[in-house]
């Protein structure tokens, strides 16, 4: 056990988590940087859960931001109309997002690849337009106000709430991905018919993966927008969903950690690139930073289809496992 | 060291450097570094490091607006241009308190979370003394909480939601019209010209439904009878069924209120005029604000005497400052400046004026000076009626959104009185303070 924990991947993981936990001591003097990093955790949850859904299970969905929005709007509307506490609202938002994920999962049983993507794009757009037009109920484009998580919450506390959510959801997703469940959904991704023929209950796992990722993003959305204090239909624009996907692709969409780190770095970098100092001059990049982000995405798709972080994660986390597998196979072959 | 360990170190170093880059920006100041340089002998050299923008040498104002999607990029670019123009004009006149003014404009992307982060950065990292701008109300609502938290004055120039000033924060001011002020203008004009019965034709969207809800409240308040409300789908081409029902109404409505946008409004307005329903001697016809587009006359050739609303000033009401901004704007964008560009220009001047009068950039003094604003700029004379020195009445007779709200934003009603008339030549009929032809209504068939 101790030998296992001393492996570089575990050491790297402990150091990484340790750095994240200790960062507020450094960031507390800069509320802005703290807010940016906290927001980056939200995108890391979205990107990693999308990696689980699309990269590992092969279900290409564009409904992630919409589901996060469902979580946030449910929490906000319940708080406004029924006076529920933020925690009660977050629980209700998470459950409703999970239920919507269940419905999408059932409806999409027969849809694959582009058709599933189109269905979820349509769902997201319908929801966004509905939120805009039913403004008496949703406040439309003016945005729905949400109470803070609790009275007097500080930036540091918000940081730890989102970090806790990120670590918790990552742990859950890693556990799932490395269990029989993960094996089954991977087999579904590779060949649904073959997986079914081998006894995988494709229907059940397809629905389950939608429900689980919907619960995660619903929880993240409801919590994050309670921190922001307002949620608008703009949040569900297809562009925002595309950003989440781009972040996951840059990090490595078949790797939960890669997608999370990719999203974290992308979000922080996009913020840092607002102003760039060169030889004493300050260049305001404005929207051009998204162009740079697009170039990075093109570069990734052309030269590093597994994501820019994948080679690092592969060496740190998977090479050892591969070695073990090869060693076991060699031993088995020698014995036979 | 194994290769795997080396990779682990690379990952850790990457994260550490990223977090280091996220760290707080040091207060810009002149730093004296002591550097040990090893040559033949060891000697101490003093090196002066100059940051990009030294603090204290300029007075910084934060500008906020959308420069990327999903925000309204066109709006953000226009606002940024106008703010930069104002800063350059102010600096050409010697700056503020003897120092140059510096604008730091942050892209808020039309998203509340980005707006809040941008406001946080401007205040805590860039050290701005005030924030101004913003195009989207939802983003403004997130930003004003940040300004309130830090006690930094925030002058909104293009956010319409009533909630912006309704919060009643000392730090928050607005020179754009509140939504309710915009909605109210037509109803108040109806009352002024003696309209008793009104029919509304409303598009079935958030704009249309919201507009109608606001209108109904104002009609009730002003004693105007809402005879009928017809909801239509955008894209409808044939309005005959609705229009024949209006023709059958008894009494004949005094006015028809159209809250339909785009091409659909053109179809409706042409059919209404063609059938002689409105504008007519008996019934006032109101058109949507898109009537200022050149396509109006192509689609509505019978459109003379329609009344339409405009937020902002037509060229006939430009003063010297407006003309100056319009010329610069036109040279850059080849069009007349929209209201949000004029408001953005004026907002920088209002802040500069307040700093100059306060004699300091300290927030409390600046807020106090802003409350005493009385300055004429591109959009007219700016002042704030309801302030800490003249609080809103407790009896609710004045709406809460009037707190720190400029009372006279140009929410105008214009009327065409000739076929194919350029909108810039149309008569401004309401409010009276802006009238160009000395009348509140031009009866069809007459000229002012």
CATH code: domain of residue B326: 3.40.50.2300
Which contacts (CB < 8 Å, 24+ apart) does range B332-340 have?
B332/B81, B333/B78, B333/B81, B337/B78, B337/B82, B338/B75, B338/B78, B338/B312, B339/B158, B339/B176, B339/B311, B339/B312, B339/B313, B339/B379, B339/B410, B340/B75, B340/B78, B340/B79, B340/B135, B340/B157, B340/B158, B340/B176
Residues B111 and B220 occupy one common structural domain: no
Taking 90 as the threshold, does the pLDDT of residue A282 lie above it? Answer: no
Q: Which residue has the tokens 């003249």?
A: B390
Report the alpha-carbon distance of residue B111 to residue B114 in Å, rounded: 5
Q: Does A143 touch chain B (CB under 8 A)?
A: yes
Average pLDDT, chain A: 87
B159: closest chain A residue by CA = A142
In this prediction the pTM is 0.79
Cβ–Cβ below 8 Å for B12 and A19: yes
Query: Do B191 and B304 lie in a common domain?
Result: yes
Q: Residue A257 pLDDT > 50, yes or no?
A: yes
The answer on B170 and B184 residing in a single domain is no
- Whether residue B26 lies within 8 A of chain A, CB to CB, comes out as no
Cβ pair B111:A30 closer than 8 A: no
pLDDT at A190: 83
Q: What are the pLDDT digits (tens) for A34-89?
A: 999 999 999 999 999 999 999 898 888 899 999 999 999 999 999 999 999 999 99
Tell me phi and psi for residue B414, to 5 degrees. -115, 160
Which pLDDT value is given to residue B314? 87
Does residue A318 lie within any of the structural domains?
yes
Cβ distance A27 to B5 less than 8 Å, yes or no, reads no
Weakly modelled stretches of chain B, pLDDT under 70: 1-56, 205-206
Instruction: Supply the range of the domain harboring residue A238.
Output: 2-272+306-335
Tally the domains of chain A.
1
pLDDT per position as a tens digit, A165-224: 999 999 999 999 989 988 888 888 888 888 888 888 888 888 999 999 999 999 999 999
Judgement on whether residues B291 and B272 belong to the same structural domain of the protein: yes
Residue B16 forms part of a structural domain: no
Q: Are residues B76 and B148 in the same domain?
A: yes
3-class state of residue B154 by DSSP: strand
Domain co-membership, B173 together with B187: no
B447 in a structural domain: no
Q: Are residues B185 and B174 in the same domain?
A: no
CB of B299 closer than 8 Å to CB of B241:
no
Tell me, yes or no, whether B251 and B291 share the same domain: yes
- Structural domain contains residue B34: no
Based on the domain organization, do B351 and B220 belong to the same domain?
A: no
Separation of alpha carbons B255 and A78, rounded Å: 41
Closest C-alpha to A29, from A163, A155, A162, A157: A155
**Are the beta carbons of B8 and A237 separated by less than 8 Å?**
no
Domain of B163, in residue numbers: 59-178+319-402
Higher-pLDDT residue of A6, A193: A193
A61 found inside a domain: yes
B433 phi and psi angles, rounded to 5 deg: -60, -25
With a CB-CB cutoff of 8 Å, which residues 170-189 of chain A face chain B?
A: none
pLDDT tens by residue, B31-54: 333 334 344 434 443 433 334 445
Q: Which of residues 329-368 of B touch A (CB under 8 A)?
A: none
Enumerate the residues of chain A whose CB falls inside 8 A of the CB of residue B117. 32, 35-36, 39, 271
Using CB atoms, pick whichever of B67, B145, B161 lies closest to residue A286. B67
Give the nearest chain B residue to A134 (CA atoms): B206
ipTM: 0.79
Which residues does residue B286 pair with via DSSP β-bridges, in sequence order?
Answer: B307
User: Is B341 part of a structural domain of the chain?
Assistant: yes
How many domains does chain B contain in total? Answer: 2
Query: Is B28 part of a structural domain of the chain?
Result: no
| Set of chain B residues whose Cβ sits within 8 Å of the Cβ of A143 | 112, 137-138, 141-142
Shared-domain flag, residues B254 and B143: no
Residues 297-316 of A with CB under 8 A from B: 312, 315-316
């Amino acid at each position: 056990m101790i030998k296992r924990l001393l492996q570089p991947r575990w050491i790297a993981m402990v150091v990484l988590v340790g750095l994240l936990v200790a960062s507020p001591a450094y960031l507390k003097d800069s509320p802005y940087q703290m807010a940016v990093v906290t927001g980056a955790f939200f995108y890391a949850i979205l990107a990693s859960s999308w990696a689980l859904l699309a990269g590992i299970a092969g279900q290409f969905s564009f409904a992630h931001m919409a589901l996060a929005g469902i979580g946030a709007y449910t929490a906000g509307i319940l708080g406004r109309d029924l006076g529920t506490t933020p925690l009660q609202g977050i629980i209700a938002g998470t459950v409703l997002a999970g239920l919507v994920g269940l419905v999408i999962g059932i409806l999409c049983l027969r849809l694959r690849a582009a058709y599933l993507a189109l269905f979820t794009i349509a769902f997201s757009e319908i929801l966004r337009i509905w939120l805009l037009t039913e403004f008496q109920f949703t406040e439309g484009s003016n945005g729905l106000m949400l109470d803070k998580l609790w009275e007097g919450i500080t930036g540091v506390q918000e940081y730890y709430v989102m970090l806790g959510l990120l670590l918790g959801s990552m742990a859950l997703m890693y556990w799932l991905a490395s269990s029989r469940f993960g094996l089954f959904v991977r087999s579904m991704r590779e060949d649904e018919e073959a997986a079914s023929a081998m006894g995988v209950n494709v229907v059940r796992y397809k629905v389950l993966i939608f429900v689980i990722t919907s619960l995660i993003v619903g929880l993240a959305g409801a919590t994050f927008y309670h921190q922001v204090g307002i949620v608008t239909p703009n949040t569900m624009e297809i562009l925002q969903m595309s950003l989440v996907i781009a972040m996951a692709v840059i990090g490595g969409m078949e790797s939960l950690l890669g997608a999370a780190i990719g999203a974290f770095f992308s979000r922080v970098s996009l913020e840092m690139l607002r102003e760039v100092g060169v030889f004493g001059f300050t260049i305001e990049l404005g929207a051009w930073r998204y162009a740079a982000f697009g170039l990075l995405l093109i570069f990734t798709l052309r030269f590093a289809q597994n994501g820019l972080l994948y080679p690092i994660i592969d060496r740190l986390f998977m090479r050892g496992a591969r070695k073990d597998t090869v060693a076991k196979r060699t031993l088995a072959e020698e014995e036979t | 060291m194994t290769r795997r360990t080396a990779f682990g170190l690379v990952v850790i170093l990457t994260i550490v450097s990223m977090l280091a880059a996220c760290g707080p920006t040091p207060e810009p100041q002149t730093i004296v570094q002591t550097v040990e340089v090893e040559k033949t002998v060891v000697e101490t050299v003093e090196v002066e490091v100059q940051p990009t923008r030294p603090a204290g040498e300029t007075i910084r104002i934060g500008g906020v607006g959308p420069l990327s999607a999903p925000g309204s990029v066109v709006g953000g670019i226009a606002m940024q241009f106008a703010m930069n123009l104002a800063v350059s004009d102010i600096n050409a006149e010697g700056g503020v308190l003897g120092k140059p003014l510096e604008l730091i404009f942050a892209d808020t992307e039309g998203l509340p979370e980005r707006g809040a982060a941008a406001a946080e950065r401007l205040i805590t990292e860039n050290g701005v003394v005030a924030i101004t701008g913003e195009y989207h109300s939802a983003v403004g609502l997130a930003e004003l909480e940040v300004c309130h938290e830090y006690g930094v004055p925030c002058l909104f120039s293009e956010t319409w939601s009533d909630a912006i000033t309704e919060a009643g924060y000392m730090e928050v001011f607005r020179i754009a019209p509140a939504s309710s002020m915009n909605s109210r203008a037509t109803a108040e004009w109806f009352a002024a010209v003696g309209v008793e019965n009104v029919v509304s034709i409303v598009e079935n969207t958030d704009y249309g439904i919201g507009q109608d809800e606001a209108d109904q409240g104002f009609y009730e308040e002003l004693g105007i009878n809402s005879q009928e409300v017809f909801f239509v789908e955008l894209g409808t081409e044939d309005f005959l069924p609705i229009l024949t029902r209006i023709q059958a109404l008894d009494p004949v409505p005094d006015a028809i209120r159209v809250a339909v946008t785009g091409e659909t409004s053109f179809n409706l307005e042409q059919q209404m005029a063609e059938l002689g329903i409105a504008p007519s001697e008996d019934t006032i016809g109101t058109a949507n604000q898109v009537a200022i587009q050149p396509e109006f006359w192509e689609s509505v050739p019978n459109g003379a005497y329609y009344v339409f609303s405009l937020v902002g000033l037509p060229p006939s009401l430009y003063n010297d400052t407006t003309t100056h901004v319009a010329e610069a704007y036109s040279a850059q964008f080849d069009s007349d400046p929209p209201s949000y560009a004029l408001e953005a220009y004026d907002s920088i001047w209002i802040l500069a004026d307040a700093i100059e009068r306060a004699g300091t950039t300290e927030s409390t003094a600046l807020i106090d000076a802003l409350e005493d604003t009385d300055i004429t700029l591109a959009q007219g004379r700016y002042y704030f009626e309801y302030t800490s020195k003249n609080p809103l009445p407790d009896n609710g007779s004045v709406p809460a959104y009037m707190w720190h709200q400029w009372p006279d934003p140009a929410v105008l009603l214009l009327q065409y009185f000739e076929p194919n008339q350029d909108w810039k030549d149309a008569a401004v009929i309401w409010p009276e303070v802006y009238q160009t032809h000395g009348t509140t209504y031009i009866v069809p068939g007459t000229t002012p």
